[in-house]
Amino acid sequence: MERRSFFKLAGLSAAVLAVGGTLGACEAGKLPDNPLAATNKANETAGQSSVMGQPPIAFDADVDVLIVGSGVAGLSAAMDPLEAKRSVMVVEKLDLLGGESYESNGVMRIAGTTAQQDAGVNATVDEAWGARKKELSAAGDDDLDFAKTLFFAATEWANRLASDYGAQFADPKTFVDGKVNAAIMLPKNGLGDMQSIMMPLRDALTAKGATFSTGHRAVAFILDEDGAACGMRFYAGSGASVLDVRARRIVVATGGFASSQPLVHEHTPDYERVGCYTVASMGEGQQLCALLGGQLVNMDKAAPLTGSLPQATAWGLFGPTVIVDALGKRFAREDDANAAAGACFSEERGYWWTVFGKQLTESSQSRSVAEVASKNAKRLIGPFDDLDELAEGMGVSPDVLNATFDRYNGFVKDGKDGDFGRTLFLEELEGPYYALKQLPQRYRSNGGVKTNQSGQVLSVVGAVIPNVYCCGAAAASSIGGLASNGAFGMLAGKAVAAALDDEDAAKQASD
């Protein structure tokens, strides 16, 4: 291990890291005055700067590219540097690779891929972007120029994953009907099967030379004598061991902050009492980048909510469902994966039921239905042969539920949802009937580290911070979900590989 007296640390305070279960401990019964406080305290004995008296810096690894976080953005950022024969290390704080991408519902907004074209899905990226732009605009997303960049880049990303990294996507023929779902890709086995994407990608990156370390949480940037980031310090588990990694470029792909009650309280306090589906999106990447002078923006912009069973929130994209509240009344459109959760929370309805029949159980997503049903038997009721039995099982008035379905079926007959504007699978349900109970939950956050379109972190005055990149949900410009995050990681990886090539070329020219 190499030691250098001029290296310094810029990292999170011990008090904050104790909240995240990593470094140090608060005094008994005492909370930190400022939970986002940073420390860059001199350690005279070691002749260095340190965080709360941490051990002196001693590099355990030296790589060209260090990627912090192993979700879809982080793994995608590794592709181009590895293909350029650069040494790449991916460090993940969880015990398993994949981050929270691994647990997502698997819906990817992509158009124009080779798989789609081979299946006869002829929607171009330009055509699909028009509809996607309307969706993002309606959701309040304002950086549509970069959203377009990510949407177009997602086509290349998906093609590369399939052709070069072994990722397995579902045959679009199984869930595309005309223009319905023509700009969606799913993993091989449908909703919830992210292992068909993430595991082949991980294995292919390993075969190309990537190294991985799990169970290590980033706690500080390591700075050189000029104050530029040149590595990262990690702590394992309870902080019993330190891992110092030196790197020429660092990519922060640590996800959002939806799991952090202090950050949610600070930035979106109206949502702090909502439950959270995720457990590891603690916002460390945003905080660490801020310590380097990185700019954090739009973190006070509330993100959409999802259901406590995210796979089921997407069922309405692939078959007919009817969403009703605790009284048996329909209150949101079913072909928007976030609509029910958002309306349930804002209208204080408590919970909702997703009602479905045999069209869904026999659809392309039958695997998802069976998986969710088997794992959540206490939330599922059915099968029932008629609506009266269903109402009794749900504990609602049969008259109310029948009136709800009479109104809904009238919209089906008219071909137009006059209440909520549903367009996909506006069809009558066929028995036997089932109902699944869900609650609104947080699953992601908005805003984060401000970057340019290459993923370089920008300072509070808009200058590029040397050597540090950010992508995926940790970045402010991450819009559009899984595919966009993967595309963002790919673009950051391209930029990192190009920067290293330019740096080496400049060095050779000066020698």
Tell me, yes or no, whether 93 and 223 share the same domain. Answer: yes
Residue 33: inside a domain: no
Tell me, yes or no, whether 96 and 232 share the same domain. Answer: yes
- The CATH number of the domain holding residue 358 is 3.90.700.10
The predicted pLDDT at position 49 comes to: 41
Which pairing describes strands 88-92 and 61-68: parallel, antiparallel, or unpaired? parallel
Which residue segment(s) compose the domain that 364 sits in? 304-439
User: At residue 449, what is the residue type?
Assistant: V
Tell me, yes or no, whether 70 and 159 share the same domain. Answer: yes
φ, ψ of residue 464 in degrees (nearest 5): -70, 130
What is the H or E stretch that residue 505 is in?
Answer: helix 482-510
Residue 106: inside a domain: yes
Residue 138: inside a domain: yes
The predicted pLDDT at position 37 comes to: 35
The predicted pLDDT at position 13 comes to: 52
At 53, list the tokens.
Answer: 């008296």
Q: What length does the chain have?
A: 511
At 134, list the tokens.
Answer: 């309307």
The predicted pLDDT at position 238 comes to: 67
Tell me, yes or no, whether 237 and 169 share the same domain. Answer: yes
The predicted pLDDT at position 417 comes to: 98
Indicate the residue among 420, 439, 458 that finishes a domain.
439
What is the H or E stretch that residue 66 is in?
Answer: strand 61-68
Residue 486: inside a domain: yes
Indicate the residue among 415, 439, 463 that finishes a domain.
439
Which three-class secondary structure state does DSSP give residue 80? helix
The predicted pLDDT at position 159 comes to: 98
Indicate the residue among 421, 439, 457 that finishes a domain.
439
At 6, list the tokens.
Answer: 């001029």
Tell me, yes or no, whether 282 and 383 share the same domain. Answer: no
The predicted pLDDT at position 333 comes to: 97
Residue 160: inside a domain: yes
Tell me, yes or no, whether 122 and 192 share the same domain. Answer: yes
Q: Indicate the number of domains in the chain.
A: 2
Residue 242's nearest CA partner among 205, 217, 208, 275 is 217
What is the H or E stretch that residue 10 is in?
Answer: strand 8-12
Residue 40: inside a domain: no
Tell me, yes or no, whether 228 and 350 share the same domain. Answer: no
**Are the CB atoms for 92 and 213 separated by under 8 Å?**
yes
Question: Can you give the pLDDT of all 511 residues of the chain as single tens digits?
Answer: 444 456 788 877 543 343 333 322 222 222 233 323 333 332 332 334 444 457 889 999 999 999 999 999 999 999 999 999 999 999 999 998 988 888 889 999 999 999 999 999 988 999 999 999 988 888 777 788 999 999 999 999 999 999 999 999 999 999 998 889 999 999 999 999 999 999 999 999 999 999 999 999 999 999 999 999 999 999 997 667 899 999 999 999 999 999 999 999 999 999 999 999 999 999 999 999 999 999 999 999 999 999 999 999 999 999 999 999 999 999 999 999 999 999 999 999 999 999 999 999 999 999 999 999 999 999 999 999 999 999 999 999 999 999 999 999 999 999 999 999 999 999 999 999 999 999 999 999 999 999 999 999 999 999 999 999 999 999 998 887 999 999 999 999 999 999 999 999 999 998 7
Residue 440's nearest CA partner among 359, 280, 323 is 323
Residue 331: inside a domain: yes
- The CATH number of the domain holding residue 162 is 3.50.50.60
The predicted pLDDT at position 40 comes to: 36
Tell me, yes or no, whether 237 and 337 share the same domain. Answer: no
Look up tokens 């000029």; give the residue.
Answer: 226
Which three-class secondary structure state does DSSP give residue 336? coil
Whole-number CA gyration radius for the chain: 24
| DSSP-assigned letter for residue 191 | T
| Alpha carbons 170 and 191: distance in angstroms, whole number | 10
Non-local (6+) Cβ contacts of 5 within 8 A are: 46, 47, 48
DSSP-derived secondary structure for 14-51: HHHHHHTTSS--PPTT---SSTT-EE-EEETTTTEEES
Which three-class secondary structure state does DSSP give residue 296? strand
Distance of CA 180 to the CA centre of its chain: 24
Tell me, yes or no, whether 263 and 164 share the same domain. Answer: yes
Residue 132: inside a domain: yes
Tell me, yes or no, whether 102 and 72 share the same domain. Answer: yes
User: At residue 361, what is the residue type?
Assistant: T
Tell me, yes or no, whether 390 and 459 share the same domain. Answer: no
Tell me, yes or no, whether 185 and 219 share the same domain. Answer: yes
> Tell me: the pLDDT tens digits for 427-453?
999 999 999 999 999 999 999 999 999
The predicted pLDDT at position 100 comes to: 84
